[in-house]
């Protein structure tokens, strides 16, 4: 999954990117509100982590613009403002959750998973896609009786394919989901990940459509 962090504090912004990467979430970082809206206009994100106290265009302005424009990307407000009024304003404008700085990145990752489960109508941390089962909290993938904890990047790739079962995702689409702005991506990075996943399970876990991309067969449940 790919997240957008909209945060003007360089220490917090860079720390969030590193922490989310350890949780298997690639993140782009916009350092002001205008850049954040530009990123939302050009890229599809799984979640937005939104600071309220931004210079120029505030976090509440961004949230208002998103929801008025029918952008329903999940938003978690990440801010130092712990006043009840600020929390109410953010939630009333369409935020999905609210976390106050300082916080533990593991808690933030858990809140992201919870928001995505609610949005998807799921109450469990498990995702079932045909013969493939994923535990979003532990990064355990099960396939034909084999259970393995995958690396963050490997898990992210399987999750990206499982979110759209039967749909072919191209190399570019997978790179967009797994890597953030400024990250150098080797030309064979996706191939290497798929090779590693297949070696751990079986080549049939991910189907290759030559010249087009990759897919996981099955129905999401």
Find tokens 């999905």 and name the residue: 96
Question: Are 86 and 179 in the same domain?
Answer: no
Residues 136-158 have pLDDT tens digits of 878 899 999 999 999 988 998 99
User: Looking at the 3D structure of the chain, how many domains does it have?
Assistant: 2
User: Is 221 inside any structural domain?
Assistant: no
pLDDT at 122 over 60: no
Question: Are 145 and 81 in the same domain?
Answer: no
For the segment 117-134, the average pLDDT, to the nearest whole number, is 77
Residues 185-206 have pLDDT tens digits of 888 999 999 999 999 999 999 9
Question: Are 115 and 45 in the same domain?
Answer: yes
Give the pLDDT score at 79.
81
Q: Which of 100, 120, 140 is the last residue of a domain?
A: 120
Count of beta carbons in the 10 Å neighbourhood of residue 140: 15
Q: In terms of residue numbers, what domain contains 69?
A: 2-120
User: Is 220 inside any structural domain?
Assistant: no
Q: Is 90 helix (H, G, I), strand (E, B) or coil?
A: helix
Question: Are 143 and 58 in the same domain?
Answer: no
CB 125 within 8 Å of CB 137: yes
Look up the CATH number of the domain holding residue 18.
3.40.50.2300
The two structure tokens encoding residue 39:
């990123």
Residues 45-74 have pLDDT tens digits of 989 999 988 988 999 999 999 999 999 999
Q: Which of 120, 140, 164 is the last residue of a domain?
A: 120
Cα–Cα distances in angstroms (integers) from residue 148 to residues 139, 141, 155, 202, in the given order? 8, 6, 10, 12
Give the pLDDT score at 49.
96
Strand 126-129 vs strand 132-135: parallel, antiparallel, or unpaired?
antiparallel
- Closest to 76 measured CA to CA, from 101, 41, 44: 101
Q: Work out the pLDDT band at 1, boundaries 50, 70, 90.
A: confident
- Closest to 157 measured CA to CA, from 126, 110, 192: 192
Residues 201-216 have pLDDT tens digits of 999 999 998 889 999 9
85-115 burial, b at 16+ Cβ within 10 Å, e below that, comes to: ebbebbeebebbbbbeeeeebeebbebbbbb
For the segment 111-121, the average pLDDT, to the nearest whole number, is 80
Question: Are 114 and 30 in the same domain?
Answer: yes
Residues 23-48 have pLDDT tens digits of 888 899 999 999 999 999 998 898 99
């Amino acid at each position: 999954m790919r997240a957008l962090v909209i945060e003007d504090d360089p220490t917090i912004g860079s720390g969030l990117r590193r922490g989310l990467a350890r949780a298997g979430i690639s993140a782009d970082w916009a350092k002001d509100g205008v850049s954040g809206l530009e990123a939302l206009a050009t890229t599809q994100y799984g979640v937005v982590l939104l600071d309220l106290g931004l210079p120029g265009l505030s976090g509440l302005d961004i949230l208002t613009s998103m929801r008025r424009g029918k952008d329903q990307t999940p938003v978690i407000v990440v801010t130092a403002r712990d006043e009840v009024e600020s929390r109410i304003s953010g939630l009333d404008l369409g935020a999905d959750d609210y976390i106050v700085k300082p916080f533990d990145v593991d808690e933030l990752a858990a809140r992201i998973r919870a928001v995505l489960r609610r949005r998807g109508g799921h109450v469990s941390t498990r995702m079932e896609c045909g013969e493939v089962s994923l535990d979003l909290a532990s990064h355990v993938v099960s396939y034909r009786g084999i259970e393995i904890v995958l690396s963050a990047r490997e898990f992210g790739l399987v999750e990206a394919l499982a979110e759209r079962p039967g749909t072919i995702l191209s190399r570019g689409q997978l790179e967009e989901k797994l890597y953030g702005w400024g990250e150098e991506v080797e030309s064979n990075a996706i191939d290497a990940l798929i090779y590693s996943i297949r070696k751990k399970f079986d080549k049939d876990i991910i189907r290759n459509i030559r010249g087009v991309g990759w897919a996981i067969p099955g129905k999401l449940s």
